[in-house]
């Protein structure tokens, strides 16, 4: 189910985008690669529209897949590519982006 922000003050934490993308892939695994990309991209765009239109603050948690090895299995590569694309779209829409390694945050983007 899609989130519907009620406008109440506070923050919404979405943890984690990698599980969300994996679930979408598993729910639609009978689809071809192009259709899967459309499904995941459409769901992500709907989520981002909700976030941008909401007065609430949102925090997305996701794995960084660009720094890891490329999976040998086609489904693993497809997952890595899709999550990387979704992470890029979220980062583009975000006002701040942090990379957290071993509990230490590094600011990647800020609208200061």
Bond from prior residue into 16 cis (ω within 30 degrees of 0): yes
Digit-coded pLDDT (tens) for 46-55? 999 999 888 8
Q: Which residue ranges make up each domain of the chain?
A: 11-110
Cα–Cα distance for residue pair 67/69, rounded to 1 Å: 7
pLDDT given at position 7: 58
CATH superfamily of 11-110: P-loop containing nucleotide triphosphate hydrolases (3.40.50.300)
What number is the average pLDDT over the span 82-97?
Answer: 95
Mean pLDDT (whole number) for 17-28: 92
């Amino acid at each position: 189910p899609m989130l519907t922000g009620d406008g109440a003050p506070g923050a919404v934490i979405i943890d984690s985008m990698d599980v969300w993308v994996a679930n979408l892939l598993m729910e639609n695994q009978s689809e071809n690669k192009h259709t899967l990309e459309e499904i995941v991209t459409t769901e992500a765009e709907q989520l981002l529209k909700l976030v941008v239109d909401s007065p609430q603050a949102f925090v997305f948690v996701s794995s960084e897949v660009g720094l890891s090895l490329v999976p040998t299995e086609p489904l693993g590569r497809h997952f890595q590519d899709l999550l990387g694309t979704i992470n890029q779209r979220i980062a583009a829409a975000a006002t701040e982006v942090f990379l957290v390694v071993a509990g230490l945050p590094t600011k990647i983007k800020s609208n200061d």
